[in-house]
Structure 1
Amino acid sequence: MTLNTRWIPERKQHFILNFLSKIFTDLPTPPNINYYWNLGSLLGFCLIIQLITGILLAMHYCPEITNSFDSITHIERNISSGHILRNLHTNSASLFFLCVYLHISRNIYHNTWKNQVTWTIGITIYITMIITGFVGYVLPWGQMSFWAATVITNLFSAIPYIGNSIVLWIWGSFSVSNPTLNRFYSLHYLFPFILTSLTIIHIIALHSENHSNPTGSQSEIDKLPFHQYFTTKDLQTTILLSIIIFFIITHTPHTFSDPENFIKANPLITPTHIQPEWYFLFAYSILRSIPNKLGGILALISSITILYLILLLKQEHIKSSNHRPNLKLTTWSLSITFILLTWIGSVPAESPYTILSLIITAWYFTSFIILIPLHSNTEKRIINKNIINNYQ
């Protein structure tokens, strides 16, 4: 008697197809979600671009301090369409972070962190992106890359007792040099695959819960399948983003680039104004706003990890800020605060910008720690009071 094992791969195949169909085709979705919900698909599109272009660039890049800058020049000048490849990688990274910030702001505005696993994984993805973007910024080995790596890694020296040991461990030497570049190159190649795994888990966790419409209500009656109604909307925004990327890389490819980074790294010459990429400027501004070095590091870390604390807020029956005027005002002010911090991070650390950054930083943390919980509790008491009065 022989055992027929042909059904095993077929069963696995059917399981995968049914799983994909459940997530991307037959997923019940509220009909009134707008284009602001398409940011998830745009983020996936940007991630695919980053993976493909990153792998192709890695084939020609040399992670050695004497050749890394020249290898970038070789890619842009000697490789067929190499300049397009590199410009696509760098500019899509900026659009990647832009979509992430819009995605996070949408979730804060509509209070859509009901699924705690989804929110936690999403913020973890954001932190992973920050690490990936930072180590990738060092790889061209230009002036700004070198000095940004020197300044940021030196921040760990403020940690009592073990700070200097951590810095030396990160450097792999007594300064930012060849071992540092090799380590950052390895991390920059590894982290996108970790990012992809987290993204898949994030999608599974998101689609395992029922979608709530922008008003926050859960309706099991008025739902539409995800395909073809919402895949068409996703395709439209994806095409629009592709047009924007194409325009940037063909007309203004260095819009988000620092001119200092087109100069080969020189440890003996310090740039006049050291700053990271634009998507790190808000955190850099918070770091500079605190005079104490250790305090600045704690403020920098807290500005990102504070997003985890939103999970401690109780979920209200009315979730969207559209129907909560006080919370709506606070969330909009948070967006303006983020823009102001990004702008301040791009200017020199001198008066009056230092004082202004300290004030805006204080408002940033006040909004998360005090105002949002206060609005939630106040509105809850008003709702309970109205319910009691109506009942009486």
Structure 2
Amino acid sequence: MKLVKRHPLIALVNNYLIDSPAPSNLSYIWNFGSLLGTCLALQIITGVTLAMHYIGSVDLAFSSVEHIMRDVNSGWLIRYLHSNGAAFFFIFVYIHMAKALYYGSFRAPRILLWSIGVVIFLVMIITAFLGITCLKCNATLTRFFSLHFLLPFVLAALAFMHLIALHQNASNNPMGVSSKMDRVPFYPYYVFKDIVGFFVFFLILSIFVFFFPNALGHPDNSIPANPMQTPISIVPEFYLLPFYAILRAIPNKLLGVVAMLAAIFILFLLPYLESSRVRSSAFRPFMRIFFWLFAVNFLLLMWIGANHPEPPFILLGQLCTAFYFAYFLILVPLIGLIENTLSDLGTINPSKNTPQGT
């Protein structure tokens, strides 16, 4: 125990992973933070291994991938772990952000924690885009591959910053109230809870890797690119489709790019747009309804982005894009204002609501 307390590095790990105080009522939805760290480590390990055999050349890139699949020991396993791991990485980050939206984890005093998380999300999107973009220029391919290799380490640094910010005020909880009077050490309670999540995650990931390795990918990835012919359909991976649908919803190319970027950067403004006195949507029936409508709208954007830009998908994409921005700019502040007003009306004269004779 003396070594744990006195050694600077071991003491740091102990403070963050062993003795770190956490609310006693966290559910399994809080497991996704540790799962995201696991996914990031998996992506870095498999990515570095793949980079040892990949050739950043427009003439040899496809052949080098086939070489990895056929000739490198367990190369097929490393590649499928990397591609499917990226898909699960984004699925988990969407669930993690949805949890923060639902339970109000983005609000003070965790604004810095939320802001770093949004930066992580933005860097993830950039990293994924650099890794899946089809290029026909060696110089650009080299630049994109270099950045795709570098940014995961930037993500790791941001993840440590995220953990430091989390340690300042501890995690939020499903009740949305202060947990300073009711906390438990992270070990053993949440360590074993996270281990259960790890086993479930690796079980599901193994099913995809060994039985359905290309289910989350695109068939065009198995066809060599033809620089003389434009692909029939240009569709990004499914986890980028909602923002791709927002990009296509506006006919003007420049305004479409602006709208796509605004759909991400608007998340930075969310802590300042929320006005309700109640943090968690578990106690906000109006917000709970619109939150699930927003979740359905996000899935609709994903479905629309996977289809060709033709009627009725053009109109549906524009309507879903309008609702996406209206949720943050109109509904979130308005619902908070309505809830505060109703709360004030109920407390103006509480004596009228008190039964006679009490």
Tell me which interval the TM-score lies in, with the shorter structure as reference length. over 0.9
**The one of 206, 214, 222 aligned to 1:262:** 222
**The one of 155, 158, 163 aligned to 1:198:** 158
Q: Which residue of 2 aligns with 1:241?
A: 201
Give the letter for the 2:96 counterpart: H
TM-score (norm 1): 0.86
SS of the residue aligned with 1:208? helix
2:300 equivalent to 1:340: yes
Q: Which residue of 1 aligns with 2:356?
A: none
How far residue 11 of structure 1 moved from its aligned partner, in angstroms, is 11
SS of the residue aligned with 1:254? coil
2:238 equivalent to 1:278: yes
Q: Which residue of 2 aligns with 1:122?
A: 117
Given that residues 5 and 11 in structure 2 are in contact (C-alpha distance below 8 angstroms), is that contact kept between their aligned partners in structure 1? Answer: no
**The one of 136, 158, 181 aligned to 1:221:** 181
CA distance in 1, matches of 2:57, 2:6: 44
CA distance in 2, matches of 1:366, 1:315: 15
Given that residues 135 and 185 in structure 1 are in contact (C-alpha distance below 8 angstroms), is that contact kept between their aligned partners in structure 2? Answer: yes
Q: Which residue of 1 aligns with 2:212?
A: 252
Deviations 1:206-243 (A, max 9, x none): 11113332111113222111110011110101110001
How far residue 13 of structure 1 moved from its aligned partner, in angstroms, is 6.5
How far residue 118 of structure 1 moved from its aligned partner, in angstroms, is 0.5
Q: Which residue of 1 aligns with 2:286?
A: 326
Deviations 1:258-299 (A, max 9, x none): 111211111212221111110110011111111111111111
Q: Which residue of 2 aligns with 1:134?
A: 129
Given that residues 32 and 95 in structure 2 are in contact (C-alpha distance below 8 angstroms), is that contact kept between their aligned partners in structure 1? Answer: yes
2:342 equivalent to 1:382: yes
Which 4+ residue blocks in structure 1 deviate beyond 6 angstroms?
Answer: 10-13
Q: Which residue of 2 aligns with 1:39?
A: 32
**The one of 40, 51, 56 aligned to 2:49:** 56
CA distance in 1, matches of 2:172, 2:324: 28
Given that residues 215 and 318 in structure 1 are in contact (C-alpha distance below 8 angstroms), is that contact kept between their aligned partners in structure 2? Answer: no
SS of the residue aligned with 1:224? strand
How far residue 388 of structure 1 moved from its aligned partner, in angstroms, is 2.3
2:78 equivalent to 1:78: no
CA distance in 1, matches of 2:211, 2:343: 54
**The one of 104, 109, 127 aligned to 1:111:** 104
Given that residues 4 and 10 in structure 2 are in contact (C-alpha distance below 8 angstroms), is that contact kept between their aligned partners in structure 1? Answer: no
Given that residues 275 and 337 in structure 2 are in contact (C-alpha distance below 8 angstroms), is that contact kept between their aligned partners in structure 1? Answer: no
**The one of 1, 11, 20 aligned to 1:27:** 20
Q: Which residue of 1 aligns with 2:355?
A: none
How far residue 186 of structure 1 moved from its aligned partner, in angstroms, is 0.5
2:328 equivalent to 1:368: yes
The verdict on how the C-alpha distance between 1:13 and 1:48 changes in structure 2, with shifts beyond 3 A counting, is farther
CA distance in 1, matches of 2:351, 2:272: 30
Percent identity of equivalent pairs: 40
CA distance in 2, matches of 1:320, 1:135: 36
**The one of 215, 231, 236 aligned to 2:191:** 231
Give the letter for the 1:117 counterpart: L
TM-score (norm 2): 0.94
CA distance in 1, matches of 2:153, 2:304: 33
How far residue 380 of structure 1 moved from its aligned partner, in angstroms, is 1.2
Given that residues 286 and 299 in structure 1 are in contact (C-alpha distance below 8 angstroms), is that contact kept between their aligned partners in structure 2? Answer: yes
**The one of 290, 303, 315 aligned to 1:355:** 315
Aligned ranges for residues 179-198 of structure 1 at < 5 Å? 179-198=139-158
SS of the residue aligned with 1:29? strand
**The one of 261, 268, 275 aligned to 1:308:** 268
Deviations 1:102-134 (A, max 9, x none): 001110011111311111100000000001111
Give the letter for the 2:111 counterpart: Q
What are the ranges of 5 or more consecutive residues in structure 1 without an aligned counterpart? 1-9, 139-144, 147-175
Given that residues 274 and 332 in structure 2 are in contact (C-alpha distance below 8 angstroms), is that contact kept between their aligned partners in structure 1? Answer: no
